[in-house]
Chains A and B, each alone.
Chain A
Amino acid sequence: MLLAMKIKAAITAAVLASPIALTVAPVAHPVDSAITEIAAKPFQYRLAGDFSRDGKPAPAPLREALLAASIKIMNRQVTAGEYARCADDGRCPKIPQASAMAERPMVGVSWRDATAYAEWMTNKTGVLHRLPTDEEWVFAAGQKVREEALPLVDPVDPAQAWIARYEAEANRARPGALDPQPVGAFGRNENGLLDVGGNIWEWTNSCFLRMTLEPTGAARVTNTNCGVRVVQGAHRTYMTDFIRDPRTGGCAAGVPPANLGFRLVVEDKNWPALQRMIVATFTPG
Chain B
Amino acid sequence: MITRRIALLGVAVAAFVVAVPALAADDLNLPRQAVALVAPPFVHPHEQATKEAPKIIEFKLVITEKEVVIDEAGTKFQAMTFNGSMPGPLMVVHEGDYVEVTLVNPETNAMPHNIDFHAATGALGGGALTHVNPGEQVVLRWKATRTGTFIYHCAPEGMIPWHVVSGMHGTVMVLPRDGLKNREGKALRYDRLYYVGENDLYVPKDEKGQYKSYETVGESFADTTEVMRKLIPTHVVFNGKVGALTGKNAMTSKVGETVMIVHSQANRDSRPHLIGGHGDYVWETGKFVNPPEKDLETWFIRGGSAGAALYTFRQPGIYAYVNHNLIEAVELGATAHFKVEGKWNNDLMTQVQPPGPILPGKSSAADAVVKTR
> Chain A: residues with CB nearer than 8 A to chain B?
50, 52, 55-57, 96, 98-99, 155-160, 162-163, 166-167, 169-171, 178, 210, 212, 222-223, 247-248, 253-255
A-B contact pairs, 21 of them (CB 8 A): A55-B356, A96-B209, A157-B343, A158-B344, A159-B317, A162-B317, A163-B318, A163-B339, A163-B341, A166-B318, A167-B339, A171-B248, A178-B74, A212-B356, A222-B357, A247-B72, A248-B331, A253-B246, A253-B318, A253-B320, A254-B247
> Does B3 have its Cβ within 8 Å of any Cβ on chain A?
no
Chain B, range 330-346, C-beta contacts under 8 Å to A: 330-331, 337, 339-344, 346
- Please report whether the interface of chain B is mostly helix, strand, loop or mixed according to DSSP: loop
293-337 of chain B: CB within 8 A of chain A: 315-318, 320, 330-331, 337
Query: Are B346 and A156 within 8 A (Cβ)?
Result: yes
Shortest CB distance B257–A (Å): 15
Whether B5 sits at the interface, judged by CB under 8 Å, is: no
Instruction: Report Cα–Cα, A159/B253, bound state, in Å.
Output: 13
> Which applies to chain A's interface (DSSP): helix, strand, loop or mixed?
mixed
A52-B318 in contact (CB<8A): no
Cβ contacts under 8 Å, B343 to chain A: 157
Nearest chain A CB to B246's CB is how many angstroms away?
7
Residues of A within 8 A of B74 (CB): 178
Which residues of B have CB within 8 Å of A253? 246, 318, 320, 337
Cα A158 to Cα B351 with chains together (Å): 9
Inter-chain contacts of A55 with B (CB < 8 A):
353-354, 356
Taking the complex as formed, is B208 at the interface, i.e. its CB lies under 8 A from any CB of chain A?
yes
Known A-B contacts A170-B250, A178-B73; A156 and B344 likewise in contact (beta carbons under 8 Å): yes
| B350: nearest chain-A partner, CB-CB | A155
Complex CA distance for A210 and B357, rounded to whole angstroms: 10
B210 within 8 A of A: yes
Evaluate whether A159 and B315 lie within 8 angstroms (CB atoms) in the complex, with A57-B354, A96-B209, A178-B73 already known. yes
Question: What residues of A have a CB within 8 angstroms of the CB of B344 in the complex?
Answer: 156-160
Which chain B residues lie closer than 8 Å to A155 at the CB level?
A: 350-351, 354
Residues of chain B at interface, number, CB under 8 A: 32
A148 to B307, CA, bound (A): 42
Q: Contact between A223 and B357 (Cβ–Cβ < 8 Å)?
A: yes
Interface flag for B355 (CB, 8 Å): yes
A98 touches B247 (CB 8 A): no
Nearest B residue to A247, CB-CB: B72
Would A163 and B317 count as touching, CB distance under 8 A?
A: yes
List the A side residues contacting B73 at CB < 8 Å: 178
The interface residues of chain B lying within 8 Å CB-to-CB of A99 are 208, 210
Q: Which residues of chain B are near A157, meaning CB under 8 Å?
A: 316, 343-344
Closest to A158 in B: B344
Question: Given the interface contacts A166-B339, A247-B72, does A158 sit within 8 Å of B317 by beta carbon?
Answer: yes
Indicate with 1 or 0, residue by residue over B279-292, a CB within 8 angstroms of chain A CB atoms.
00000000000000
| Across-interface contacts of A171 in B (CB, < 8 A) | 248
Docked CA distance A212–B346 (Å)? 25
CA distance A254 to B339 in the complex (A): 12
B315 smallest CB distance to A (angstroms): 7
**B residues less than 8 Å from A248 (CB atoms):** 330-331
Query: Chain A residues near B346 (CB, 8 Å)?
Result: 156
